[in-house]
Amino acid sequence: METVVQPRCEAGFSRAEIDVGHTDLGKSQIAGRGSQVRQHTIRIDDFVIHPLFSFNRPLPILETRSLTWPDEAACAATARRMAARPALRQAVIELQGTLGAGKTSFVRHLLRAAGVDGRVKSPSYAVVEPYEIAADGTGWRAWHFDFYRFNDPHEWEDAGFRDIFAEAGLKLSEWPEKAAGLLPAPDLHIVIEIGEDEQRQVTITANTPLGLELLP
């Protein structure tokens, strides 16, 4: 479990790779080769137990894909592919990784690609940021959670999080291990790790049939 203090907004890739426009997903001067994908299928009776980020909640694996993001452009490309899938509007997605791995960056790219207008804020202090999305002539909702500072299980009920997760719409959760035992099983579980030369090694696991539809 991380013991360091989280900054106001989690960085995406290293500062040398992105300009200040990235904070609000503005212009980017990054060029890259795109993501490299390695795909394999795992038996349904296996479980998600990631060596770095497990928190005693076994989940069935339907399929796992491993990607390499050499730069910010590759991260954005994965988000665009996922945002194009209709299943996203009903998905529960969890993201794990150390501070600065790029969880918030991916969420920002995903929400923008899904149709969010205006600033996409980090919920580091608010715990949750809601969004109304109008795309293709229809309206739907999304919620971005950051449970890094979540310590009191009573807050789950008091803040109405149970009701939010019961509603239709996209739910994206960072630091889900902080709310272990309270979150519903995710459709998609994403682990982002920092590799050599600031590349990101990404493991995306589908835990439900809906999650399978979202695999990039």
Interval 153-192: pLDDT, tens = 788 888 889 999 999 999 999 999 988 889 999 999 999 9
Task: Assess if residue 90 is contained within a domain.
Answer: yes
| Separation CA 48–CA 54 (nearest Å) | 8
Residue at 128 is within a domain: yes
In a domain? residue 45: no
Evaluate if residue 130 carries a pLDDT over 60. yes
Asked if residue 16 is part of any domain, the answer here is: no
From 86, 69, 87, 64, select the one nearest 33 (Cα to Cα): 69
User: 28, 72 in Cβ contact below 8 A?
Assistant: yes
Alpha-carbon gap, residue 172 to 18, rounded angstroms: 23
- Which CATH number does the domain housing residue 75 bear? 3.40.50.300
Q: Is residue 38 part of a domain?
A: no
Dist CA 132 CA 142 (whole Å):
7
Is residue 81 situated within a structural domain? yes
d(CA 98, CA 158): 28
Is residue 180 domain-resident? yes
> Which tokens sit at 47?
């479980």
pLDDT interval class at 57 (50, 70, 90):
low
What is the span of the domain harbouring residue 128?
Answer: 59-214
Whether 3 is in a domain gets the answer no
The pLDDT tens digits for 14-34 are 433 333 233 343 433 333 444
Residue type, 66: S
How many residues make up the chain in this entry? Answer: 216
Average pLDDT, the chain: 79
- On whether the CB atoms of residues 174 and 145 are closer than 8 A, the answer is yes
Segment 34-38 shows an average pLDDT of: 48
Question: How would you classify residue 148: left for phi > 0, otherwise alpha for psi between -120 and 50, otherwise beta?
Answer: alpha
DSSP structure string for 153-180: THHHHHTTHHHHHHSSSEEEEESGGGGT
Q: How far apart are CA 119 and CA 26, in angstroms?
A: 10
Which of 103, 137, 138, 140 shows the shortest CA–CA distance to 123? 103
Handedness of CA 99, 52, 152, 126 (dihedral sign): positive
Mean pLDDT to the nearest integer, 134-138 = 74
Q: In total, how many domains does the chain have?
A: 1
